[in-house]
Amino acid sequence: MTDVREQLVWHRRCGSNACVEVAHDNRSGRPHVLVRDSEDAAGPRLDFTTNAWASFLQAVRQDWI
């Protein structure tokens, strides 16, 4: 069976000497966003609901975090 992680399309974003990869996943019927360390693709990943991801991005853009 194919590893689920291999079926996702990951997009790399870099800044301040660090990179992460982000993938949108709608396969479960529950849209969510996955984030992983670009140097450890097989390692752990964060799983955000699309609403939580949007809130996180807003906070970053407004320098709240």
Interval 1-54: pLDDT, tens: 455 545 899 999 998 888 999 999 998 888 999 999 999 999 999 999 999 999
Domain that holds residue 34: 4-61
Of residues 65 and 55, more confidently modeled: 55
**This model's pTM is above 0.85:** no
Amino acid 5: pLDDT: 47
> Side-chain half-sphere of 5: how many Cα atoms within 13 Å?
13
Domain count, the chain: 1
Separation in Å, CA 63 to CA 56, 58, 60 = 11, 9, 5
Of residues 64 and 8, more confidently modeled: 8
Nearest-angstrom CA–CA distance, 28 and 57:
23
Separation in Å, CA 7 to CA 4, 33, 35 = 5, 14, 15
Amino acid 27: pLDDT: 85
